[in-house]
Amino acid sequence: MATPIAGSGPAFQQKGLMAADRGRRILGVCGMHPDHQEALKKNRVVLAQQLLLGELLEHLLEKDIITLEMREHIQAKVGSFGQNVELLNLLPKRGPQAFDAFCAALRETKQSHLEDLLHTTLSHLRQALPPVWSPRHGGC
């Protein structure tokens, strides 16, 4: 472990540990459910073309799905299509709650048609394929 900075006592170190632990809890032990990943993948082009990110990113930030740094990284991309693709690249890595939070953010930003599209795809996936279970995803 690095040498503590002068004036940084246990409270500072404890605060740093809590922030790191909080990050792990946000991501969770499990990743996004495979069905959710597949629904995003199957609708990737439509989402990349139609997402309106402005307010949506703020909702995802508020729900701890993305960080300030991620928002800045997304917004640094050229054009709305590029920004949307960057968000779609990040979402599957943001934990088991990311899909539901994304759908809620779509609803809250009056993009319910995209939420409906994702849920319709999810429904078709679940009818066509047996449920996915693995020790990694079993507790999610």
Residue of 47, 39, 82, 87 whose CA lies nearest to 66: 87
DSSP-derived secondary structure letter, 130: P
One digit per residue, pLDDT tens: the chain, 140 residues? Answer: 444 444 444 443 334 433 333 443 444 446 899 999 999 999 999 999 999 999 999 999 999 999 999 999 999 999 999 999 999 999 999 999 999 999 999 999 999 999 999 999 999 998 875 655 555 554 44
